[in-house]
Amino acid sequence: MPEAVVCEAVRTPIGKRNGSLAEVHPVDLSAAVLDALAQRTGIDPGVVDDVVWGCVNQVGDQAAQIGRYALLAAGWPETVPGVTLNRACGSSQSAFDFAAGMVLAGQYDVVVAGGVESMTRVPLGAGRDLGRPYGPLVRERYRADLTSGEFPNADFNQGVGAERIARDWKLSRTELDEYAARSHELAAAAIDSGAFDRQLAAVPGAPGFDADEGLRRGTTAGTLAGLTPSFAADGVIHAGNSSQISDGASAVLVTTPQRARELGLTPIVRYHSGAVSGADPLRMLTGPIPATRKVLGRAGLGVADIGAFEVNEAFAPVPLAWQAEFGADPARLNPLGGAIAVGHPLGASGTVLLTRLVHHMRDRGIRYGLQTMCEGGGTANATIVELVEGSG
């Protein structure tokens, strides 16, 4: 039976908005992880069948098919193609799913999947001045909610969705803030222990930048308690229990076990199962729940079989509602912290999570890992990978 394996996974340190990566063009930021991938594997980039690249806000510096120009910026042969895709926050996780699918189908032998986002240079929602997203038919379908006064500008809004999730799952402000503080604590421990060192790629345009810079050491629920709610006067969601606006890039090399042997590569994990699902586009962020159910069913595995979960911390209610539904061991959920502590560079985040996950699995000898991403519009990806024996 055909298999797809990941032989290397790299990411840049995540930069905070207007931070260390602010002056690096997202094409060049993408090139940095492609360079690192080629150097660490020793492959000739000419063997790559395709570069599948996630990016969300494809305007300005991130327009013009950034996946193609990234590999050209890296100096890779002009014969290597590239494509850019957008599944909102899950863009690079979808890039990985698509890359693995093409390998499993026998269409590709060697693929790079990854993504980038410079939220400093291309702000969230940068394309809104060119038109009004969503369209009149969708707005009419959800008119009663959108015009209720809860949604700013009568637009779909993730923050309002997070407020609804907190309300529906009866998650208090204190619980959310305690979870946010936990994210900082775990991320600090991971950084200090060197858990990320093996996965980080240097960025030539940001010399000396070698660690995720969004971390706020010493964060506690008490220090977060004074922050003003962002989406409702009596709300529970604020900047401190939400993901940070960030810059970053990430990439993974996907191939077959046979081709890996021919190239002298050692697989880390194999692609076990993947799923994508849709959910309520108003709450928007509950998609990881049905996506997880779907991928576990497809894999024939249970929650207890999974040794590590990466559930993207778009907002604190997302992993907490997910955990409430599945009863997963809290110690296995986002064990290295998450986007609340280190940031969420949209188009890069899917393979950022994957990079964190596969290195953690290899370091700890964990057989199965699962990652899932909530996405704008109510979709979500869920992917299970399995450690390859002898990958350490």
CB distance 31 to 70 below 8 Å: yes
Residue type, 385: V
d(CA 56, CA 314) in angstroms, rounded, equals 15
303/146 Cα distance (integer angstroms) = 36
Task: Yes or no: say if 61 and 351 are a contact pair by the CB < 8 Å rule.
Answer: no
Q: Residue-wise over 56-78: b if at least 16 C-beta within 10 A, else e? A: bbbeebbeeebbbbbbebbebee
Q: State which amino acid sits at residue 188.
A: A
The token duo for 285 is 């962020």
How far apart are alpha carbons 221 and 82 in whole angstroms?
44
Distance CA 196, CA 201 (A): 10
| DSSP three-state, residue 186 | helix
C-beta neighbour count of 218 within 10 angstroms = 9
Q: How far apart are CA 206 and CA 201, in angstroms?
A: 11
The residues, any chain, with a CB within 8 Å of residue 187's CB and separated by 6 or more, are 212, 215, 336, 337, 338, 341, 342
Residue 107 has a CB neighbour count (10 Å cut-off) of: 11
Q: Answer whether 89's CB lies under 8 Å from 99's CB.
A: no
Token pair belonging to 100: 């693995």
**CA–CA distance, 180 with 316 (Å, rounded to integer):** 6
3-state SS, residue 116:
strand
Active-site residue list: 89, 344, 374
Q: How far apart are CA 273 and CA 96, in angstroms?
A: 12
Say how many C-beta atoms besides its own lie within 10 A of residue 294's C-beta. 17
C-alpha distances (whole Å) from 288 to each of 94, 299, 357 are 14, 16, 17
